Amino acid sequence: MSVVVAGCKVNLGLRITGIRDNGYHELDSLFWPLPRPCDRLHISETGTSGIVVRCDTPGIDLEHNTLTRAYAALAGRVPDLPGIEVRLVKGIPTGAGLGGGSSDAAALLQWLNKKLPDPLSEQELAAVALAVGADTPFFLKNAPCRVRGIGEIIEPCGPDALAGMHLVLVCPDIHASTPQAYADYDAAVQASNTIPGQNCLTKPESKANGTFLSGVRIDLDMHNDLEAVVFARHPQLAEIKANLLRLGAGAVAMSGSGSSIVALFAREFHVESQAVAAMLQGENRRVYAHVL
């Protein structure tokens, strides 16, 4: 049996730049991988065919999920995939904007690809991953990337600009629906008679202005176009953001379509960021502190 660890990602800013004819939203976002929280995949070959998924976490559809989609997508390209059983141990909360399902799918694709006598190339595997989900190709790289389009345009970017900074991730016990977030966004944009890319829901910000941490500008736009509509449904998230800013964070934003909130602290704020993580830990939320 193999045990594969699948980390998560946060969005350090998210802009909606357009909507395609098929209804998919085009994005521009900085994806940043984190080792925690994480899922674990316990994978065993069965000697038969197909995939069996087992998971003790309530609400996981064991027949139709990102793992079964990943297996099916690869089987469509490669004959005679080994039959496997995957026991999924969830550590990444669902409905949190952390890409847990996409990360699991990417981890399984990489494991299966290594088992092939003639493994797919990086580009071929990325094409399979995109068929599973928009975020899945990013997790094949597992490095900071600017992600555009519907997730197919991935540009690695060096982590130097944020090196040494401290990140606090707050995961409240709130499930934020991604389809609902985009539906609410579309309805708000339609009601305001604007178009994506010219969002009227929040105060406009310029990427050229960047984000200031302890007086030092970094080329980072932490604005998330989905925040306004998600916060309207879950006002507790706005309270978490306000508390992080009050406690000294230089920049705070919701990750993806929520519900997790991510905060950046300047390099010299190590003690404060650890203290903030401890202060915000509670029965209804999990908090993680990272050094970038």
| pLDDT tens digit sequence for 20-33 | 998 889 999 999 99
Domain finish residue from 156, 178, 212: 156
DSSP 209: G
Residue 188: its pLDDT value, please? 92
Residue 58 contacts residue 119 (beta carbons within 8 Å) = no
Please tell me whether residues 137 and 228 are part of one structural domain: no
- Cβ-proximal residues to 118 (8 Å cutoff; 6+ apart), any chain: none
For residue 73, give the H/E element and its range.
Answer: helix 66-75
- What value does the mean pLDDT of the chain take? 88
**Exposure b/e, 178-211, CB count within 10 A at least 16 = b:** eeebbebbbebbeeeeeebeebebeeeeeeeebb
What is the three-class DSSP state of 3?
Answer: strand
Please tell me whether residues 105 and 30 are part of one structural domain: yes
What is the three-class DSSP state of 154?
Answer: strand
Task: Of 26-35, 38-47, 52-61, 266-275, give the lowest mean pLDDT range.
Answer: 266-275
Whether the ω angle into residue 35 lies within 30 degrees of 0, i.e. cis, is no
Please tell me whether residues 78 and 59 are part of one structural domain: yes
Whether the ω angle into residue 37 lies within 30 degrees of 0, i.e. cis, is yes
Domain finish residue from 95, 127, 156: 156
CA-based nearest residue to 138, from 169, 109, 102, 96: 102
Average pLDDT of the segment spanning 263-285:
75
Please report which confidence band the pLDDT of residue 212 belongs to, taking 50, 70 and 90 as the band edges. Answer: very low
Please report which confidence band the pLDDT of residue 201 belongs to, taking 50, 70 and 90 as the band edges. Answer: very low
Read off the pLDDT of residues 100-158 as tens digits, 9 standing for 90 and up. 999 999 999 999 999 999 999 999 999 999 999 989 999 999 899 999 998 889 998 87
- Report the CATH number at residue 27: 3.30.230.10
**Exposure b/e, 68-82, CB count within 10 A at least 16 = b:** bbbbbbbbeebeebe
Please tell me whether residues 10 and 138 are part of one structural domain: yes
Average pLDDT of the segment spanning 189-206:
59
Residue 111: its pLDDT value, please? 98
79-93, 149-163, 203-217: range with highest mean pLDDT: 79-93
pLDDT over 60 at 206, yes or no? no
Average pLDDT of the segment spanning 203-224:
53
Gap between the Cα atoms of 120 and 1, Å rounded: 23
pLDDT over 60 at 199, yes or no? no
- Report the CATH number at residue 198: 3.30.70.890
% of the chain beyond a pLDDT of 90: 69
Please tell me whether residues 272 and 134 are part of one structural domain: no
pLDDT over 90 at 248, yes or no? no
Please tell me whether residues 141 and 189 are part of one structural domain: no
Please report which confidence band the pLDDT of residue 196 belongs to, taking 50, 70 and 90 as the band edges. Answer: low
Read off the amino acid at residue 83.
G
Residue 273: its pLDDT value, please? 67
How many domains, in total, are found in the chain? 2
For residue 54, what are the β-bridge partners? 87
Please tell me whether residues 98 and 203 are part of one structural domain: no
Please tell me whether residues 164 and 150 are part of one structural domain: no
Please tell me whether residues 25 and 147 are part of one structural domain: yes
Output the six-digit token pair for 216: 């030092």
Please tell me whether residues 227 and 278 are part of one structural domain: yes
Read off the pLDDT of residues 55-77 as tens digits, 9 standing for 90 and up. 999 989 999 999 999 999 999 99
Residue 162: its pLDDT value, please? 84
How many other C-beta atoms can be found within 10 angstroms of the C-beta atom of residue 35? 11
pLDDT over 90 at 291, yes or no? no
For residue 245, give the H/E element and its range.
Answer: helix 235-246
Please tell me whether residues 124 and 218 are part of one structural domain: no
Higher pLDDT, 211 or 71: 71
Residue 254: its pLDDT value, please? 97
Domain finish residue from 96, 131, 156: 156
Output the six-digit token pair for 252: 């705070």
pTM value is 0.88
Catalytic residue list: 9, 135
Please report which confidence band the pLDDT of residue 208 belongs to, taking 50, 70 and 90 as the band edges. Answer: very low
Please report which confidence band the pLDDT of residue 265 belongs to, taking 50, 70 and 90 as the band edges. Answer: confident
Residue span of the structural domain in which 83 resides: 2-156
Please tell me whether residues 117 and 167 are part of one structural domain: no
